[in-house]
């Protein structure tokens, strides 16, 4: 069975939904935000993640519909959290290369959040280096600049794994660098990974960017990151991605 068709059907049936993974202050484990991650509920009820349907996110038509669903549901969830008095800074939304092809991403983002009266200052747009370096890069950068001018935060995801060179950090409209989980996962055993983490933290601070360490799984990793001056993190040590309802409960209990 073709996975692109399966996702298309899931869109029609309302079985495409966001899960959320908390982003925390490493020193207190206090939740400061979440990252939205797309999930598909299969007909058998099983929930699968984006890694299981990359072809669908690469398909121009289907990925557009997936993004539409994600924007709408994330905005609605955020409205509910704000109404419930839950305290969070940002909710991150992942966008890929295909999201920029129709040149209307800014309008789509603005409309989705306006429809639910959610201020864009609570929204983080997560892109990878490859999105910034890809075809139509000047248009991508202009779109991100406009979203940023409207208050959104721009986060550079999986940092260190893509093609961007350090000089690009000067010109990219970036507020937050997310250190890829591969470096965090190996920083205690591999000196080069530790050196890269240190370098990214140093560089980001000198460029006045914030840093989120991804893929924190152990308290040892958390402590080392803290000693290196990394204040924000994300990973299974704190929470796995969970449903919107479970996210409210997490934000309530920690907030
Ligand atoms: O949660 P998970 O393992 O499935 O994420 C796998 C990859 O899919 C990650 O690189 C993540 O950035 C990407 N991803 C997750 N959610 C979305 C989404 O809503 N849109 C796009 N374009 N990519 C996503
Ligand atoms: O590319 P991106 O960073 O958006 O991908 C996020 C993916 O990483 C999600 O699929 C999420 O489930 C996964 N993830 C989140 N925290 C951890 C972690 O601590 N360890 C591992 N191995 N994966 C994680
Ligand atoms: Na991401
Ligand atoms: Mn990431």
For the Cβ of 221 lying below 6 angstroms from any atom of ligand 2, the answer is no
> Hey, which residues does 242 pair with through a beta bridge?
20
**Å from CA of 215 to ligand 4 middle:** 8
Summarised one tens digit per residue, pLDDT across range 132-146 is 887 778 899 999 999
Centre of ligand 2 to C-alpha 215, Å, is: 6
Rounded distance, CA 66 to CA 7, Å? Answer: 8
DSSP letter, residue 157: E
State in Å: Cα 191 to ligand 3 middle: 25
- The pTM (predicted TM-score) of the whole model is 0.96
Name the token pair of 43.
């007909």
Of residues 238, 236, 126, the one with CA closest to residue 185: 236
How high is the pLDDT of residue 133? 85
Q: Please report the ipTM that was assigned to this predicted complex.
A: 0.97
Kind and range of the H or E element at 194?
helix 191-206
pLDDT of residue 74: 98
Q: How many domains does the chain have?
A: 1
The model's pLDDT over 106-164, given as tens digits with 9 standing for 90+, comes to 999 999 999 999 999 999 999 999 898 877 788 999 999 999 999 999 999 999 898 77
22 pocket-lining for ligand 2 (C-beta < 6 Å): no
CA of 126 to the centre of ligand 3 (A): 6
3-class DSSP assignment, residue 109: helix
37 CB near ligand 2 (under 6 Å): yes
Q: Please work out whether the CB of residue 234 comes within 6 Å of at least one atom of ligand 1.
A: no
The answer to whether 64 and 71 have CB atoms below 8 angstroms apart is no
Q: Is 180 in the pocket of ligand 2 (CB under 6 A)?
A: no
- Give me the mean pLDDT over the 24-53 stretch: 97
What's the confidence (pLDDT) of residue 1? 65
Average pLDDT over residues 204-209: 94
The yes-or-no verdict on residue 60 having pLDDT over 90 is yes
What CATH code is carried by the domain that includes residue 47?
Answer: 3.20.20.450
- Cα atoms in the Cβ-side hemisphere of radius 13 Å centred on 42: 11
**Predicted pLDDT at 163:** 78
Owning domain of residue 99: 3-254
Q: Residue 241: which pLDDT band, with cuts at 50, 70 and 90?
A: very high
**For residues 210 and 229, is the Cβ–Cβ distance under 8 A?**
no
Q: Pairing between strand 123-128 and 210-213?
A: unpaired
């Amino acid at each position: 069975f073709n996975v692109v068709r399966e996702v298309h059907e899931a869109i029609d049936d309302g079985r495409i939904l966001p899960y959320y993974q908390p982003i925390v202050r490493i020193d207190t484990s206090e939740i400061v935000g979440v990252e939205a991650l797309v999930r598909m509920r299969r007909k058998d009820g099983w929930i699968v993640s984006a890694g299981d349907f990359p072809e669908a996110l690469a398909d121009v038509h289907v990925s557009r519909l997936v993004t539409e669903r994600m924007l709408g549901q994330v905005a609605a969830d955020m409205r509910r959290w704000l109404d419930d008095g839950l305290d969070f800074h940002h909710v991150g939304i992942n966008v890929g290369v295909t999201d920029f092809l129709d040149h209307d991403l800014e309008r789509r983002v603005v409309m989705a959040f306006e429809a639910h009266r959610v201020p864009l200052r609570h929204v983080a747009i997560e892109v990878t280096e490859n999105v910034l370096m890809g075809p139509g890069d000047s248009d991508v950068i202009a779109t991100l600049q406009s979203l940023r001018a409207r208050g959104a935060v721009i986060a550079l995801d999986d940092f260190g794994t893509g093609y961007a060179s350090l000089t690009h950090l000067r010109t990219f409209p970036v507020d937050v660098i997310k250190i890829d989980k591969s470096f965090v996962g190996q920083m205690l055993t591999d000196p080069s990974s530790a050196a890269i983490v240190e370098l990214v933290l140093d560089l980001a601070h000198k460029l006045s960017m914030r840093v989120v360490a991804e893929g924190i799984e152990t308290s040892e990793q958390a402590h080392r990151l803290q000693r290196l001056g990394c204040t924000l993190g994300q990973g299974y040590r704190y929470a796995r991605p969970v449903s919107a309802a479970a996210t409210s409960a997490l934000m309530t209990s920690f907030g």
